[in-house]
Amino acid sequence: MTNNGFTRRGALKAATGLLGAGLALPSSQALAGVPRSEGYAQVPGGKIYWRKFGAGGKTPLLTLHGGPGSSHQYLLPLQALADERPVIFYDQLGCGRADAPEEDSAYSIQRSVDEVDAVRAALGLDRVVLLGHSWGALLAVEYLCQGRGAGVERLVLSGAMASIPQVIAGFERLFATMPNGWGDKIHALEKAGKTGTPEYAELVQAFYDNFVLRVPPTPEVVATLEALAKSPAYRVLNGPNEFTIVGKIKDWDRRKDLKAITQPTLITTGEFDEVTLDCHETLRDGVAGRARLAVMAGCSHLTMNEKPERYNALLRGFMNEA
């Protein structure tokens, strides 16, 4: 696996030192009595690992994690919502505890979309609230644009986009906001093939600290970064590093097809999200269903880890609306 440049994986070294700080999910003790189950399900290409929390009568929440290539752990703050409804997490193929074929052909947007249907069928999820974060939001948008929305009652899109070219353009604008000629320096190092140098890592860590995660990472975030470091899906779908999106998703663009999304939709982002505000506004203005955009002050890309109580309150209010 190519890993010459800094990506979200690069935060692992810094994050691991924080494991002894006693950071934990705020909902863990409160949910001690909530029913939970886990298992594996067959999907196109292999088996995925799933976890289910809660057994309430309200429509289940099915979550799609980001990456591509991470795992479900960083989304675990959403366990707090299992007091009202089932909350389902799963590791996509090539991620976490799922099978991880090494063949490039095993990974594509279409296979990942088909995987959502396979997971719903395996777990009997006829009705769902569908939540996608980052790459998971891409999957949710693609899923619904393909007309697979039967039984999807509501949609939550976080750190989301309708177009990878629009995301890349946003990256460049963020580069320009960084001080001391940051953008020129990082592009010069990339052009010179010096993405494996300490200087490059330091520059991109500064971007990460501003636009991806603005608080010390919890053990769940660290576990996700460990999964990302091992996943072949990142290289195949995204590319060699965070800023060089040359993988299979590079040309994905559904901006013209968003009217296919008719579900009530909550769109969330952070004030400093690496996926820029215009990407979220495109979704809000493009979908046919009633849509609301919530910008979380002081947050970046991993809003559910930076301010989990606020994030869950947004979701709970939206899912319980008449």
- Provide the 8-state DSSP code for 57: S
Distance of alpha carbon 111 from alpha carbon 114, whole angstroms: 5
* pLDDT value, residue 241: 72
* pLDDT value, residue 1: 26
- Going from the N-terminus, what domains does the chain have, and what CATH number goes with each? 8-19+47-319 (3.40.50.1820)
* pLDDT value, residue 221: 96
* pLDDT value, residue 239: 84
- Provide the 8-state DSSP code for 285: H
DSSP string for residues in 18-37: TGGG----TTTTTTTTS-EE
* pLDDT value, residue 32: 72
CA distances from 205 to 48, 179, 227, 239 (A): 31, 14, 19, 18
* pLDDT value, residue 20: 33
* Mean pLDDT, each 10-residue run in order, the chain (322 residues): 38 40 45 90 98 94 96 97 97 98 97 98 98 98 97 98 97 93 91 91 91 96 92 91 86 98 98 97 98 98 98 98 89
Active site residue 301: yes
Burial degree of 186 (CB within 10 A; 0-12, 13-18, 19+)? buried
* pLDDT value, residue 29: 54
Q: Return all residues near 234 (Cβ < 8 A) that are at least 6 apart.
A: 1, 7, 9, 67, 68, 69, 228
Active site residue 133: no
- Spot the catalytic one: 112, 163, 273, 280: 273
What are the backbone angles phi and psi of residue 311, rounded to the nearest 5°? -60, -45
**DSSP-derived pairing of the beta strands 152-158 and 61-64:** unpaired
* pLDDT value, residue 14: 45
- Spot the catalytic one: 72, 133, 280, 301: 301
Active site residue 187: no
Distance of alpha carbon 124 from alpha carbon 48, whole angstroms: 15
* pLDDT value, residue 109: 98
* pLDDT value, residue 169: 97
- Nearest 5°: the CA angle 48, 32, 215 is 70
* pLDDT value, residue 37: 97
* pLDDT value, residue 6: 37
- Spot the catalytic one: 134, 158, 163, 231: 134
* pLDDT value, residue 96: 97
Handedness of CA 256, 257, 262, 264 (dihedral sign): negative
Report the amino acid identity of residue 98.
A
Distance of alpha carbon 10 from alpha carbon 226, whole angstroms: 10
Distance of alpha carbon 202 from alpha carbon 228, whole angstroms: 20
Handedness of CA 181, 186, 192, 198 (dihedral sign): positive
